[in-house]
Amino acid sequence: MATTCVKRAFKYRFCPTDAQAAELSRTFGCVRKVYNMALAARTQAWARQERVNYNQTSALLTAWKKTEELAYLNEVSSVPLQQCLRHLQTAFTHFFAKRAKYPRFKSRKKSRKSAECTTSGFRFCDGRLTLAKMPEPLEIVWSRPLPEGAKPSTVTVSQDAAGRWFVSLLCEDPGVKPLPATDSAVGVDVGLNHLLTLSTGEKVANPRHERKDRARLARAQRNLAKRAKGDGANRAKARRKVAKIHARITDRRRDHLHKLTTRLVRENQTIVIEDLTVRNMVKNRKLARAISDAAWSQFRSMLEYKAAWYGRQVIAVDRWFPSSRLCSVCGTLQEKMPLHVRTWTCDCGATHDRDVNAAKNLLAVGLTASACGDGVRPQRRTPSGQSSAKQEPQRATAGLPRP
């Protein structure tokens, strides 16, 4: 049975010439203009209870290019313009499927500057990438090699708020294969004092990347606040300085999470985590900054896609599972346990570290539910006070009382 190769995006920095930078900036502007015009057309049709699909917006783009007002759209490559219409179609597909909100217009100042090209919009040969409408190849900093014989199917050029230029090449990577199966499993409890606590007792310190650069960021933001909006180059320079500090924080955080998740996936066959609603947790004004800096959602996302690549399993335990209040030795459930209690002693005499105990409980209930084929959500009561028949096997699997 033939196995399909995993497609991976390899992202690199590059240094464009002045002509290339001007052409790419022009392309970004045209992509944003076409996207906004197509979104406006679809919104107007939606108000008339009509639907406009990708083919109709593509026909509109052809008509726009023929007008005198929008003739400049012919000066850039047509491939990124068509791709932005496909992205808009995808956004509406998610909206109609109730997976996302209604698409929003792109902003010249706030939206991400990017342009995507398919195989007809670039040429890649002998490690040299040349985009359409550009006679010279891009000067890419090859920080890591592409897979041998790689043929990019999509190239995305972007510029971040700090002014850095990136190119992302989507290729098939034959090197991504399932790892040899092991018997090891681990429960992972995320936190703020320690970023991760494993069921083995190991604790991973929280680097707190944002806190380390908080003073520098505050100075840069104060300097930016003093610049009037019409200050021109001085305000742009101050804005870029703030963006560079944010980019430094983001890069360090991402690098640390990549190393952690890669290690967990390589060493364990099964990884059990808690299904946290970070979106609601950041509403806590006292902890929002620390929770955002910990990036729990990004950690879970990396863990899940790497597990899918390498043949591992990630189990998410329901957020209402009382992992901290449950004794991992005798199963006694404590009634209350405030956050300031980090160590506690059960009636059976076992003394627990709060986070290690939670990780052990997550591992136990995750493996039990996975083995029985049921979920890991604890039993809930219906409004009538009767247990739901659908939820009863899940409680039997977990073997736990209501939290």
Which CATH number covers residue 325?
3.30.420
Which DSSP helix (H) or strand (E) runs through 131?
Answer: strand 128-131
Q: Is residue 262 part of a domain?
A: yes
pLDDT on residue 393:
30
Is 352 found in the same domain as 286? yes
Same-domain pairing of 69 and 190: no
For helices 54-65 and 18-47, the axis angle rounded to 10 degrees is 120
Burial class (CB in 10 A: 0-12, 13-18, 19+), 176: middle
Domain residues for the domain of 73 are 6-173
**Catalytic annotation, pick one of 23, 116, 189, 210:** 189
Tell me, yes or no, whether 190 lies in a domain.
Answer: yes
Instruction: Point out the catalytic residue in the list 23, 116, 210, 274.
Output: 274
- 274 carries an active-site annotation: yes
Per-residue confidence (pLDDT) for residue 29, from 0 to 100: 96
| Same-domain status, 190 and 299 | yes
Report the alpha-carbon distance of residue 31 to residue 21 in Å, rounded.
Answer: 15
- Tokens 């380390």 belong to which residue? 212
Within this chain, do residues 192 and 92 fall inside the same structural domain, yes or no?
A: no
pLDDT attached to residue 332: 81
pTM for the model stands at 0.84
Q: Are residues 131 and 195 in the same domain?
A: no
Cα four-point dihedral sign 29, 34, 39, 45: positive
Q: Quick one: pLDDT at residue 350?
A: 84
In a domain, residue 220? The reply is no
Residues 109 and 257 in one domain: no
* pLDDT of 370: 66
- Please give the Cα distance from 7 to 4 (Å, whole number): 9
Same domain, 157 and 304: no
Report the residue count for the chain: 403
Phi, psi of 231, rounded to the nearest 5 degrees: -80, -5
Which residue from 259, 256, 403, 255 is spatially nearest to 337, judged by alpha carbons? Answer: 403
Q: What is the pLDDT along the chain (403 residues), one digit of tens a residue?
A: 445 788 999 999 999 999 999 999 999 999 999 999 999 999 999 898 888 899 999 999 999 999 999 999 999 999 999 999 999 999 999 999 999 999 999 999 889 999 999 999 999 988 899 999 998 999 999 999 998 888 999 999 999 999 999 999 999 998 889 999 999 999 999 999 999 999 999 999 999 999 999 999 999 999 999 988 877 889 999 999 999 999 999 999 999 999 999 999 999 999 999 998 898 999 988 999 999 999 999 999 999 999 999 999 999 998 888 888 888 888 888 888 888 888 888 878 888 888 898 899 999 888 886 666 554 444 333 333 443 333 333 333 344 433 3
Q: Are residues 72 and 194 in the same domain?
A: no
